[in-house]
Structure 1
Amino acid sequence: MLEKQFYDQLFAHSFNIPLTVDYGEQQKQYGEGKSQLTIHMHKLIPVKDLLKNASLALGEAYMRGDIEVTGGGPFALQRLLTAAYESSGSFMRNPKLMRFIPKQSHSEKKSKQDIQAHYDLGNDFYKLWLDKTMTYSCAYFDDWDQDLTSAQQNKVDHILRKLDPQPDRRLLDIGCGWGTLMLTAAKRYHVNVTGITLSQEQYDFVTARINELGLQDHARVLLRDYRELDDGPYDYVTSVGMFEHVGKENLGLYFQDVAKLMAPNGSALIHGITRQQGGANNAWLNKYIFPGGYIPGLSENIDHVIAAGLQVSDLEPLRRHYQRTLELWDTNFNAKRNVIQKQFGFDFTRMWDLYLQAAAASFESGNIDVMQFLVTKAPSGTGLPLTRDYIYS
Structure 2
Amino acid sequence: MQDAALRLKTLLEQLLGVPLPVRLRAWDGSEAGPPGAPALVVRNRRAVRRLLWKPGELGLARAWVAGDLTVDGDFYTALDLMSGLVWDRGEDARSLGETLRDPEARAAVRGLVMMAWPPLPPAPPREEVRRRSHLHTKRTDRRAISHHYDVGNDFYEIVLGPSMVYSCAYWPAPDATLEDAQRDKLELIARKLDLKPGGRLLDVGCGWGSMAIHAAREHGVSVVGVTLSHEQAAYARKRVADEGLTDRVEIRVQDYRDVADGPYDAISSVGMAEHVGSERYLEYARTLFTLLKPGGRLLNHQIGRRPRRDESAYEVDEFIDAYVFPDGELAPIGSTVTQLERAGFGVRDVESIREHYALTLRRWVANLEAGWPLAVRLTSPGRARVWRLYMAASAVAFERNRIGVNQVLAVRTPESGASGMPLRARTWG
Say yes or no: TM over 0.5.
yes
292, 301, 313: which one aligns with 2:348: 313
Tell me how far apart the structure 1 counterparts of residues 326 and 87 of structure 2 sit (CA, whole Å): 26
SS at match of 1:129: helix
Asked if residue 368 in structure 1 is aligned to residue 403 in structure 2, the reply is yes
Partner of 1:286: 321
Asked if residue 29 in structure 1 is aligned to residue 33 in structure 2, the reply is yes
Tell me how far apart the structure 1 counterparts of residues 387 and 51 of structure 2 sit (CA, whole Å): 25
Asked if residue 142 in structure 1 is aligned to residue 144 in structure 2, the reply is no
Partner of 2:253: 223
Tell me how far apart the structure 2 counterparts of residues 390 and 237 of structure 1 sit (CA, whole Å): 19
Asked if residue 244 in structure 1 is aligned to residue 247 in structure 2, the reply is no
Partner of 2:189: 159
SS at match of 2:280: helix
SS at match of 1:69: strand
288, 293, 298: which one aligns with 1:263: 293
Do the aligned residues in 2 keep the contact of 1:268 with 1:376 (CA within 8 Å)? yes
Partner of 2:39: 38
Q: CA deviation at 1:319?
A: 1.1
* Structure 2: unaligned runs, 5 residues or longer: 1-6, 98-130
**What amino acid is the match of 2:140?**
K
- Identity of counterpart residues, as a percentage? 32
SS at match of 1:13: coil
Asked which structure has the greater RCO (Cα within 8 Å, sep 6+), the reply is: 1
Asked if residue 355 in structure 1 is aligned to residue 386 in structure 2, the reply is no
User: 1:82 and 1:383, CA in 2 relative to 1: closer, same or farther beyond 3 A?
Assistant: farther
Tell me how far apart the structure 1 counterparts of residues 19 and 410 of structure 2 sit (CA, whole Å): 40
Q: CA deviation at 1:157?
A: 0.4
Tell me how far apart the structure 1 counterparts of residues 288 and 154 of structure 2 sit (CA, whole Å): 32
User: 1:83 and 1:107, CA in 2 relative to 1: closer, same or farther beyond 3 A?
Assistant: same
Tell me how far apart the structure 2 counterparts of residues 300 and 222 of structure 1 sit (CA, whole Å): 30
**What amino acid is the match of 1:49?**
W
Q: Tell which deviates more after alignment, 105-114 or 313-322.
A: 105-114
Q: CA deviation at 1:375?
A: 0.6
Do the aligned residues in 1 keep the contact of 2:268 with 2:299 (CA within 8 Å)? yes
Deviation sequence 1:103-153 (CA, Å, 0-9, x none): 413111221121112111221111122121111111010111111001000
Tell me how far apart the structure 2 counterparts of residues 356 and 281 of structure 1 sit (CA, whole Å): 17
CA-atom RMSD, angstroms?
Answer: 2.7
9, 12, 26: which one aligns with 1:7: 12
Q: Tell which deviates more after alignment, 187-196 or 271-280.
A: 271-280
Do the aligned residues in 2 keep the contact of 1:183 with 1:210 (CA within 8 Å)? yes
**Larger Cα Rg: Structure 1 or Structure 2?**
2
Deviation sequence 1:141-188 (CA, Å, 0-9, x none): 011111100100010001111112222111110000111111111111
136, 150, 173: which one aligns with 1:120: 150
Q: CA deviation at 1:4?
A: 6.6
Tell me how far apart the structure 1 counterparts of residues 372 and 280 of structure 2 sit (CA, whole Å): 37
Tell me how far apart the structure 1 counterparts of residues 262 and 344 of structure 2 sit (CA, whole Å): 17
Total equivalences in the alignment: 380
* Structure 1: unaligned runs, 5 residues or longer: none
Q: TM-score, normalised by structure 2?
A: 0.81
Partner of 1:59: 61
